Chain A
Amino acid sequence: MRIAVADTRLYFDVDGAKLVPDGPWMRERPTVLLLHPGPGFDHGLFKVQLGPSLVPHAQVVYLDQRGGGRSDRSDPETLTLDRWADDVHDFCDALRIERPIVLGLGFGSLVAIRYAARHPAQPGALVLAAPVARIVPEQSLEVYERLGGAEARAVAERYYEGMDEQAFADFLRVCFPLLSSYELTSDVIIRADWSPEVLIRWMRGESKELDLRPELGTIEVPTLVLAGEDDAWAPLASVQEVVEHLPEGALFRSFAGARHSIFRDAPESLGELRRFLEWLHAEEASL
Chain B
Amino acid sequence: MQGVELFFDVDGAKLAPAGAWMRDRPTVLLLHTGPGVDHSPYKDHIGPALAQVAQVVYLDLRGAGRSDWSDSAHWTLDTWVEDVRGFCEMLELERPIILGTSLGGLIGILLAARHPERVDRLVLVSTVARYVHTRAITVFDRLGGPAAGEVAARYFADPSAASFAEFLRVCVPLYTRNPDPDTVARIEMNLELTAYWDRNERAFDIREEAALVTCQTLVLAGEEDPSTTIVGTEELVAALPAELTRLHRFANAGHGVFRDAPEAIGLVREFVLSEPRAPAAYS
- The answer to whether A13 touches B58 (Cβ under 8 A) is no
Q: Are B14 and A1 in contact (CB under 8 A)?
A: yes
- Return A46 CB to nearest CB of chain B, in Å: 10
The minimal Cβ–Cβ distance linking A44 to chain B, given in whole angstroms, is 6
Is there a chain A Cβ closer than 8 Å to B165's Cβ? no
State whether the Cβ of A21 lies closer than 8 Å to any Cβ in chain B.
yes
- What's the nearest-Cβ distance from chain B to residue A25, in Å? 6
Q: Could you say which of B19, B44, B92, B185 has the most chain A C-beta atoms within 10 Å of its C-beta?
A: B92
Q: Which of B12, B44, B92, B181 contacts A21 (CB 8 A)?
A: B44
Contact with B along A1-15 (1 / 0, CB 8 A): 111100001000111
B278, CB-defined interface residue at 8 Å? no
Which residues in B have their C-beta under 8 angstroms from that of A3?
90-92
- One of A17, A19, A20, A23 near B182 (C-beta < 8 A): A23
Q: Which residue of A lies closest to B48 (CB)?
A: A17
B13 near A62 with CB under 8 A, answer yes
Given contacts A21-B182, A26-B186, contact A15 B43 (CB under 8 A): no
Binding stretch for chain B, among A186-194, A204-212, A271-279: A186-194
A47 interface residue, CB < 8 Å from B?
A: yes
Q: Which residues from A are CB-within-8-Å of B185? A: 24-25
CB distance from B22 to the nearest CB of A (A): 6
**A interface residues, tally (CB under 8 Å):** 30
Whether A19 pairs with B17 at a CB distance below 8 angstroms is: no
Using CB atoms, name the residue of chain B closest to A25: B186
Task: Identify which of A47, A186, A190 contacts B15 (C-beta below 8 A).
Answer: A47
Query: What's the Cα separation between A191 and B16 when bound, in Å?
Result: 10
B5 at the interface (CB under 8 A from A): yes
Tell me the smallest distance from the CB of A16 to a CB of chain B, in Å: 6
Q: Is B203 interfacial (CB-CB < 8 Å)?
A: no
Structural contact, B19 and A21, CB atoms closer than 8 A: no
In Å, the complex CA distance between A282 and B93 comes to 36
Whether A191 touches B43, Cβ cut-off 8 Å, given contacts A1-B91, A17-B11, A17-B58, is no
What CA separation (Å) do A48 and B19 show in the bound complex?
A: 11
How distant is A100 from chain B, measured CB to nearest CB, in Å? 15
Residues of B within 8 A of A14 (CB): 10-11, 13-14, 55
Contacts A1-B91, A16-B11, A96-B5: A191 and B182 contacting too (C-beta < 8 A)?
no
Which residue of chain A is the closest to B14 with respect to CB atoms?
A: A13
Q: Which of A42-66 contact B (CB under 8 A)?
A: 44, 47-48, 51, 59, 62
A1 CB, min distance to chain B CBs, angstroms: 4
Residue B163 lies at the interface, judged by CB distance under 8 Å to chain A = no
| A15 engages B186 (CB within 8 Å) | no
Q: Which of B130-168 contact A (CB under 8 A)?
A: none
| Contact across chains for B9 and A18 when beta carbons are under 8 A apart | yes
Q: Does B21 contact A (CB under 8 A)?
A: yes
CB of B245 closer than 8 Å to a CB of A: no
Q: Which of A13, A47, A48 has the most CB of B within 10 A?
A: A13
Which B-chain residue is minimally distant from A45 (CB atoms)? B17
Task: Mark interface residues in A76-109 (1 if CB within 8 Å of B CB, else 0).
Answer: 0000000000000000000010000000000000
Known pairs A1-B91, A191-B22; A20 contacts B15 (CB<8 A):
no
- Chain A residue numbers with a CB within 8 Å of B12 are 15
Within the complex, which residue of B40, B92, B182, B186 is in contact with A1, where a contact is CB–CB below 8 Å?
B92
Q: Please, which residues of chain B bring their CB within 8 A of the CB of A13?
A: 13-15, 55
Which residue on chain A has the smallest CB distance to residue B10? A14
- Interface of A toward B, CB cutoff 8 Å: 1-4, 9, 13-21, 23-26, 44, 47-48, 51, 59, 62, 96, 186-187, 190-191, 193
27 A-B residue pairs with CB within 8 Å: A1-B14, A1-B92, A9-B92, A13-B55, A14-B10, A14-B55, A15-B10, A15-B11, A15-B13, A17-B47, A17-B58, A18-B9, A19-B9, A19-B40, A21-B43, A24-B181, A24-B185, A24-B186, A25-B185, A25-B186, A26-B43, A44-B17, A47-B16, A47-B17, A48-B17, A190-B20, A191-B17
List B residues at the A interface (Cβ < 8 Å).
5, 9-17, 19-22, 40, 43-44, 47, 51, 55, 58, 90-93, 181-183, 185-186
Can you list the 7 inter-chain pairs with the closest CB atoms, starting with the nearest? A24-B185, A14-B10, A15-B13, A2-B92, A17-B11, A1-B91, A190-B20
